[in-house]
Structure 1
Amino acid sequence: MASTLVLVGCSTTSPSKPLKRTYSSFDLPSEHTKQDTLSAGCINFQGVPLEQVLQVYAASSGRTVLRGSLPDARISLRSASPLSCIQLLQMLDTVLAQNGIAMVLSGDDAVKAVTTTRVSVETPPEINLPWEMLPDSSSVMMRTVHLKNLKPSETIPMLAPFAHLPNSLIAIDGKQILILRDYSANIRQQLRMLEQLDRKPSP
């Protein structure tokens, strides 16, 4: 079947104050000037080779894609509604994760494409947005949670059903710290649960 492959550059006009030069799945619209919007159906991958999809990722994010050995995946994806650059990157993160590939931000100008089995040895970005503002996508991130009442190790059995990536829950009881390393969609659910569980008991 024919495939439509669109390379997009999310350009911005000259801002009056410093704004981000590159894009990521965790950006807020306010961090950029007005974005170009892709029309519905503009992304139409039907068995597109991974290399070409990574080219779209690089063009959309303005970042260099660093890659090692990756599976010979072919990606299928069609955008059914208009997308901003940020939404496109979230969608690409998710479809790539479904094919065993994780995109891990590396500084301000690059992103690593690694197999999902190698994510545990990478250092994902620490994202401190409120859980309600985290993207519901397979975008790799880290979050350090300082618990007030619960012992960190006691929360792991409760959070494990919401974990996806290996070794994604790290408890440091002596510091009352819990480290979450997973997809944004999973960490959203874990943070929402911790917000309810870590409340001080009523007298």
Structure 2
Amino acid sequence: MKNQKTNLYLYFEIFSPFILHLQRTELSKRIAFWLAFLFSVPVLAGSVSGPHVVWVNLDSSANGERVNKIVASFASDRSTRCNGSWFTGTSLLYMKKRPPKISNALVADVFLKGKIPEKKLLNEALKSYVDEYAYDGFDGIIVYDNSRDAEMMQLTTGHKRIEKFAVALKGKQPEKKDIEAAFCVLLPPITRKP
């Protein structure tokens, strides 16, 4: 019996540092997990998803409908990332449902005629729109027009500058890859506050 106690004592003495190290390692993993969890929750709670964008197509022809289908398909494709700017599931693209204050006439006045008072109205309509999905407005608007050259244009909410991206020459149909590239380039940054 004494020999068994001595063996047990030797066993404990030899392996106790290893056992204590395992216990400390396991404890440190648990502590690290809970600290990471606790500190990541507030970061997610104050963030906004996005971007939230209104799409307006000023071309009512068959070609305009083709452009709408390309954009809708591209924006809803799970593989679309636009270099980290587009997130399927959290980004919103309003194509058919549009804020009532944003008419084609208002958009044409802002993007084609450059009317400044209408630009202020458009910015206010983008900023103040609320529904069950866009409860804090929009980050911007992307517009397609082919009255001159086929181009896509963008206005970021709260900004004055309109960005333009030519997708085809006058009378030519834009290619799918050009429309998709323009959509990604013209995505507005997130302007909504958390």
Q: TM-score, normalised by structure 1?
A: 0.25
**Structure richer in helix, relative to its length:** 2
Q: Which has the higher contact order (CA 8 A, sep 6+)?
A: 2
**Structure richer in strand, relative to its length:** 1
Return the index of the structure with the highest Cα Rg.
Answer: 2
Q: TM-score, normalised by structure 2?
A: 0.25
